[in-house]
Amino acid sequence: MPAAGTRPVRRLWRRPGLAIPLTLAVLAGAFWFARPYLPEALDFTRDSTGTPDELRPSRIRASSFLSDHPPRTAIDTYTNRFWVPAEAGPGIGEFLEVDFDKPVRMTKLVVFSGRSAKEDEFLAQSRPSALTVTLSPAEGEPTEKKVALKDRPGQQTFDVRGAEVVRVRLTIDDIYGAGKGRRPAIAEIEFFGRS
């Protein structure tokens, strides 16, 4: 019995021994139902926080090319050599396509449009203004992403994400600087992610 003039101590919860097991049971249930989504969440976290590796293609081909400017010049790490289609004109539908020996997790695409990263040489040919990037996985359906390029020399980086990618195709949808005898040029393409 409490002493006269004092109030009894008020207990907020009569069963404190159940709080920890109940909390653990709720967390275990949440983890159980989240299991299918955890690998994807971990991959997204790794892709967002880590530094991506450069992914080197094993092969490259093109819909067509001028003999002095073959497709391999677009992945040779030099921005003063470039690929152009065989026929002069807008080049809509012309493409570059690369293969990877092993499936990769792609996160970024870098494009150097035009014939060079130098301003005076950049304007000598037409340049892609829009590309469709098609990512083909080892299994499953390909996915497409449209990218819009600016009409300026130098590197342009795009978030292009795909898992288990074995082939990437860049198709020209539109161009800048069309003119008689001109062809859309791509100086360099680079891929980043995890292998």
Q: What tens digit of pLDDT does each residue of 118-147 get?
A: 888 998 999 999 999 999 999 999 999 999
38 vs 1, 33, 45, 137, 138, CA distance in Å? 55, 10, 10, 21, 22
Q: Can you give the pTM of this predicted structure?
A: 0.76
Same domain, residue pair 37 and 68: no
Residues 43 and 134 in one domain: no
Same domain, 41 and 59: no
Q: What is the pLDDT of residue 42?
A: 67
154 shares a domain with 86: yes
Give the chain's mean pLDDT. Answer: 89
In angstroms, the Cα distances linking 41 to 34, 109, 181 are 10, 22, 50
Where does a domain end: 5, 30, 49?
49
Question: What is the per-residue DSSP string for 144-195?
Answer: EEEEE--SSSSEEEEEEEEEEEEEEEEEEEEEES--TT--B-EEEEEEEEE-
Cα–Cα distance between 121 and 127 in angstroms, integer? 12
Q: What secondary structure letter does DSSP report for 134?
A: E
* CA distance linking residue 188 with residue 186, whole number of Å: 6
Question: Is residue 100, in this structure, part of any structural domain at all?
Answer: yes
Section 165-179 average pLDDT:
96
Residues 35-55, mean pLDDT to the nearest whole number = 75
Of 144, 53, 39, nearest in space to 95 by CA: 144
What total number of domains does the chain contain?
2
Q: Are residues 129 and 172 in the same domain?
A: yes
Band of the pLDDT at 73, cuts 50, 70, 90? Answer: very high
Tell me, what's the pLDDT at 15?
61
Pick the range with the lowest mean pLDDT from 32-41, 87-96, 109-118, 164-173.
32-41
- Tens digit of each residue's pLDDT (9 = 90 or more) over 80-107: 999 999 999 999 999 999 999 999 999 9
pLDDT reported for residue 74: 96
Q: For 48-72, write each residue's pLDDT tens digit.
A: 667 888 999 999 999 999 999 999 9
**pLDDT score, position 21:** 82
What are the distances in angstroms from CA 186 to CA 4, 103, 135, 141, 173? 92, 25, 19, 27, 13
Backbone angles phi, psi at 144, to 5 degrees: -120, 150
Can you give the residue range of the structural domain that contains 38? 16-49
Question: Confidence class of residue 30 from pLDDT cuts 50, 70 and 90?
Answer: confident
DSSP-derived letter for residue 88 is -
> What is the token pair recorded at 12?
């907020």
Query: Percentages helix, strand, coil for the chain, rounded to the nearest 5?
Result: 20, 40, 40
Question: What is the 8-class DSSP label of residue 99?
Answer: E
